Amino acid sequence: MRKRFDYIDALRGWAIFGVIVTHVSSLINYEGVLTSLTGRGGLGVQLFFMISAFTIFHSLDNSKGKENFPVSNFFIKRLLRIAPVYWLGIIVYSLIFGLGSRGWLPGPELWHYPLHFTFTNLFHPESPSSVVPGGWSISCEVIFYFLCPILFALIRDIKSAIYFSIITVAGGIAFLKLTDAYLINEMSKSFGQKLSEQYFYRSIISQIGCFSFGILFFHIGKSGKLNKYLEIKSFSKLLLFIGAIGLVIMYVLKPGYHYVAGFSFLCIALSVSKRDNFFIVNRPIIFLGKISFSAYISHFLIIYFLKNLFFIENFYTLTLLTFIIVVPISFLLHLYVEKTFIGLGRTWISRREKPVVTLTAN
């Protein structure tokens, strides 16, 4: 794999692009020629999951044997990367909306707040995205963080990564089928059909199969076994084609279409990992990828205000204006919040890792 992962930032850029487009279309109930595409944009979350697993395993591999406290350092880095912006989002959304709806789902109750602050909001059907819209994916991500040190120790090569993908995907499909057959109808009496279905779909049991493709991606790159093929233009294009086909036909598999999407994203990531593809990897989309986390937290608020304060109902206008406003705001958040706390984490870790100098009397 390349030392500079510009293509990883580019994939993040496409992920947030798809997520924003989907949320614009869902808030205004868009129905038009792009409906089939906007519906797929929400799977940018699964692309984020795949990329996250790849980068985490890459980071853990780099720190192996170089740090005295690799596990605790890992949690320091990841939580300081994600928590400050998310907690700021909790504060901002609460100051603006109080306990009212953020536009997509019913608003939170007071007991939801401790769950969001501790990233355990995924564990109750009513709370996953009630305080911060889209908060379910952040909770799912943090839960995955706590599994990572164990998974990194157990999954050591391509073979074990393939087994893990097969087990988690098959287990996820079985889990969704069983919950659909035996639990959703009963839960719907208390929480409604939509929240009940989302609760199981968004659970770590369902989503870990998407993370698994990132782990597989890491081990393919680390082994170098496909490098000579990935450098061949025709092979790279074939992977891109397979990925595109998967995204077109993914809804054939229900439940479990998000695994088809995850496999498609793996093919696309492999396609651009060794060969340049200007359409997928370019400066604007790389920049968008770098600020994607701040954009994920802030874009819901921008879409809501553009629609409800300025009464913008046209899909194309609302999408364009959303990006025009989200990009500078997210850049500032990335620059002054994300990078500040990432720097603090690095400083903290470097101080922990300094050897203790003891003075001995002669």
99 near 108, Cβ under 8 Å? yes
247 near 40, Cβ under 8 Å? yes
Report the alpha-carbon distance of residue 17 to residue 11 in Å, rounded.
10
Residue that finishes a domain, picked among 224, 250, 281: 281
> 201 and 130, same structural domain?
no
Give 24-45 as a 3 state SS string. Answer: HHHHCCCCCCCHHHHHHHCCHH
**What does the pLDDT read at residue 2?**
46
Answer whether residue 334 is part of any domain: yes
> 133 and 77, same structural domain?
yes
DSSP 253: S
Angle at 227 between CA 221 and CA 233, to 5 degrees: 125
- Burial string for 211-220 (b: 16+ CB within 10 Å, else e) reads bbbbbbbbbb
The residues near 122 (Cβ < 8 Å, ≥ 6 apart) are: 128, 136, 139, 140, 143, 202, 203, 204
Answer whether residue 82 is part of any domain: yes
CA 297 to chain CA centroid, nearest Å:
12
Task: Assess whether pLDDT exceeds 60 at residue 336.
Answer: yes
Residue that finishes a domain, picked among 248, 264, 281: 281
39 near 26, Cβ under 8 Å? no
CA 57 to chain CA centroid, nearest Å:
15
Q: Of 343, 149, 175, 199, which Cα lies nearest the Cα of 255?
A: 175
Residue that finishes a domain, picked among 281, 298, 315: 281
Task: Assess whether pLDDT exceeds 60 at residue 358.
Answer: no
In tens, the pLDDT along 93-107 reads: 999 999 999 999 999
**What does the pLDDT read at residue 361?**
52
Report the alpha-carbon distance of residue 347 to residue 226 in Å, rounded.
37
What residues make up the domain containing 325? 72-154+283-351
In tens, the pLDDT along 36-93 reads: 889 899 999 999 999 999 999 999 999 888 888 889 999 999 999 999 999 999 999 9
**What does the pLDDT read at residue 127?**
97
Answer whether residue 22 is part of any domain: no
> 180 and 122, same structural domain?
no
Q: Sign (positive/negative) of CA torsion 141, 142, 143, 146?
A: positive
The residues near 118 (Cβ < 8 Å, ≥ 6 apart) are: none
Answer whether residue 49 is part of any domain: no
Answer whether residue 65 is part of any domain: no
302 near 31, Cβ under 8 Å? no
The stretch 21-37 carries a mean pLDDT of: 93
**What does the pLDDT read at residue 354?**
80
Task: Assess whether pLDDT exceeds 90 at residue 359.
Answer: no
Task: Assess whether pLDDT exceeds 50 at residue 344.
Answer: yes
Domain count, the chain: 2
> Which pLDDT band holds residue 318 (cuts at 50, 70, 90)?
very high
In tens, the pLDDT along 209-218 reads: 999 999 999 9
**What does the pLDDT read at residue 355?**
66
DSSP 120: -
pTM of this prediction? 0.95
Q: Sign (positive/negative) of CA torsion 295, 296, 298, 299?
A: positive
**What does the pLDDT read at residue 3?**
44
Provide the percentage of residues in the chain whose pLDDT is more than 90: 88
The stretch 136-164 carries a mean pLDDT of: 97
Structure tokens given for 313: 């109902």
Report the alpha-carbon distance of residue 174 to residue 102 in Å, rounded.
33
Structure tokens given for 131: 């305080």
The stretch 195-202 carries a mean pLDDT of: 96
Residue of 59 and 360 predicted with greater confidence? 59
Answer whether residue 34 is part of any domain: no
Answer whether residue 6 is part of any domain: no
> 235 and 187, same structural domain?
yes
Answer whether residue 52 is part of any domain: no
